[in-house]
Amino acid sequence: MPFRSGFVSIIGRPNAGKSTLLNALIGEKIAIVTRKPQTTRNRIHGVLEVAPKKGKHPAAQIVFVDTPGVHAPSTLLDKRMLQEVHDALSSRDVVLHVVDATRTLRAPSPDKPAAQAPGAITPEDEDAYILSLIRTLDCPVFLVLNKIDAIEKETLLPLIAHWSALHAYTEILPVSARKQDGLEKLTAKLVEHLPEGQRYYPKDQFTDQPERFLVAELIREKILQFTGEEVPYASAVVIERFEEPSAPAGKKPGAKPPLTRISAAIHCERTGQKAILIGKGGAMLKQIGAAARVEIERLVGTRVYLELFIKVAADWRSSGPFLDALDWKKQLEDLGSRQKE
């Protein structure tokens, strides 16, 4: 059977479980997950190599594109996050519209047109805005009803009927990303709708994100988990030093495992937020660092020395140059330029 490949964009409101779904499909943690909305800020590519199943589907490579949750923007960062959604939809073979099955249903207002520009969307328009986006697409759109493990079975059919009345989805698939229920069927249906093609990434690669970006995201995940109110959303993490251990000349008896040295700056917008991030006697910063280090060591496969420090960058979420500097591709370009000097 011919090999198939393609890009599958994942779209949905905040807290729909898109990142949990991506991690479950890939089998690796490539997107941070918290209970707070707007956790995802960038497009994240996850690469799934699918083995052939005789009589069912051929071998395939699916490149999933996780996007920020569609939400009402209040800063330049929010607007750029919504632009990430638009960019992901501009080049795709299939789109997954992920819906939280536990959320109270509310039909979009029929007498109020959906906002047509990212800056015009309001919280009440989020469902209508997503529907307005997918109705313009000329590719298959799947409705993925996530978190079905948290609802009563008898509520599933009314839920399907509700969304079926709003759009003619190519497939409607109930799943539980947390319990990995329904993911095999979802994968098979995706392969069925992908075009024939070649691999976009090497067979053993599961994301296009560099380790530096993943490390920064793991630190930001702990900030989201351990702090509240405005602090998580006013925080950004930049890796300023990432020193990998040199290849050992030969393993000596009793030698310590290799050590990766990482320094990261946590940027916030106000001195009060800096005080919260540091905590009494440095307790909060130590908690964030300790929890992040455990996950980073799992990621890089070595011991990790992690140094965290706080910087105040007033109103960085509305600063174009600062947001440009947060882009991991730009960070790698700058790093390459410095190494050539």
**Segments making up each domain of the chain, as ranges:** 4-193, 211-340
189 phi and psi, to 5 degrees? -65, -35
Return the top range by mean pLDDT from 35-39, 201-205, 326-330: 201-205
Q: Each residue of 121-141: pLDDT tens digit?
A: 555 578 888 898 899 999 999
Element (H, E) at 181: none
What is the pTM assigned to this prediction? 0.81
pLDDT over 90 at 306, yes or no = yes
Q: How confident is the model at residue 112 (pLDDT cuts 50, 70, 90)?
A: very low
With a pLDDT cut of 70, the percent of the chain lying above it is 84
Mean pLDDT throughout 282-286?
97
pLDDT of residue 340: 55
Domains 4-193 and 211-340 share a fold: no
Q: Which fold, 4-193? A: Rossmann fold (3.40.50)
Give dist(CA 19, CA 34) in Å, integer: 9
Sign of CA dihedral 238, 241, 246, 251: negative
pLDDT over 70 at 337, yes or no = no
pLDDT of residue 253: 63
pLDDT, greater one: 43 or 281? 281
**Contact call for residues 236 and 266 (beta carbons, < 8 A):** yes
CATH code given to domain 211-340: 3.30.300.20
State which amino acid sits at residue 32: I
Instruction: Tell me the pLDDT of the chain averaged across its residues.
Output: 85
With a pLDDT cut of 90, the percent of the chain lying above it is 56
- State the burial class of residue 208 (Cβ atoms within 10 Å of its Cβ: 0-12, 13-18, 19+): middle
